[in-house]
Amino acid sequence: MKKIFLLIAVVLGFVATKVNAQQQNPVRFGIKAGVNLAEWQGETVNSAQDLINLSEGAVNRKMREGFHVGGYISIPIGPGFEIEPGLQYSQKGTRLTGKIPIEEIDFLNTNLTLTNKAEYLDMPILAKLYLGEGFHIFGGPQVSYLLSNKVQAEAGALGFKALNREWDMKDGFREIDLALTGGLGYRFASGFNVSAGYDYGVNTIDSNGSFETYNRVIKASVGFTF
């Protein structure tokens, strides 16, 4: 599967070079990086939330903080319209935090954190429409390959960490994740750009489709188009 991603990237680069040679508006290359706020959504998560609610605040769902970094190609199609394929590393997953709900040991401030640490290689293919100056909106499909998937368990008391372990959980998770992504941004005349977007996963993260759970990611990025 990694070879397929590499082949697609090479083909896109070849096409961009040909297009660049045949038109006045040049194809431009860029780099970008930013922060992710990721979580899972779906029926399974909703059922888990019902159990969390029964804990009366002892357990909470939180987004997993992460980052993304990669590159892209901006291919002009017409006035104010571009196609932008890209390739980037992106951290996703979700997080549960809580404390042991036993009054007798409450003074110990015991806490537990379970984090799903999923790492993907994303390949978005965006249609980008400029609405004047550098402001633009974008959207399109995204194919992602699961590089690794781990669960980290952390526990502590009185400010000291008593447990910090990770387990490999890639088996049973779908290697290819499909999503729709979109957002808005602004590109300055210098080539510096900022954007905010959202990834909406459309297939279940587990390989059997039994858990009805999907990736959701809020992204904020900065980049530079050469």
pLDDT tens figures, 173-193:
999 999 999 999 999 999 999
Q: What is the pLDDT of residue 159?
A: 62
What's the total number of domains in the chain?
1
pLDDT tens, residue by residue, 132-185? 889 999 999 999 999 999 999 888 766 666 678 899 989 889 999 999 999 999
Q: What is the pLDDT of residue 207?
A: 86
Pairing of strands 192-201, 213-225: antiparallel
* CATH number of the domain bearing residue 130: 2.40.160.20
Residue 54's pLDDT band (boundaries 50, 70, 90)? low
Percent over 70 (pLDDT), the chain: 75
Mean pLDDT (the chain) is 84
In angstroms, the Cα distances linking 89 to 32, 53, 174, 203 are 11, 34, 17, 19
Residue 222's pLDDT band (boundaries 50, 70, 90)? very high
Q: What is the pLDDT of residue 21?
A: 47
Q: What is the pLDDT of residue 96?
A: 84
> Can you tell me the mean pLDDT for 119-132?
97
Question: Of 33-47, 102-116, 121-135, which gets the smallest average pLDDT?
Answer: 102-116
Here the contacts of 131-138 (C-beta below 8 Å, separation 24 or greater) are 131/80, 133/186, 134/186, 134/187, 134/188, 134/189, 134/193, 135/184, 135/185, 135/186, 136/184, 136/185, 136/186, 136/187, 137/182, 137/183, 137/184, 138/84, 138/182, 138/183, 138/184, 138/185, 138/195, 138/197
Q: Which residue has the higher pLDDT, 86 or 105?
A: 86
Q: What is the pLDDT of residue 184?
A: 98
> Can you tell me the mean pLDDT for 12-33?
70
Q: What are phi and psi of 51, to 5 degrees?
A: -70, -40
Residue 225's pLDDT band (boundaries 50, 70, 90)? very high
pLDDT surpasses 90 at 128: yes
pLDDT surpasses 90 at 123: yes
Question: Of 22-31, 40-49, 67-76, 203-212, which gets the smallest average pLDDT?
Answer: 40-49
Domain span including residue 215: 2-225
Pairwise CA distance, residues 43 & 173, whole Å: 17
pLDDT surpasses 50 at 104: no
Q: What is the pLDDT of residue 91?
A: 98
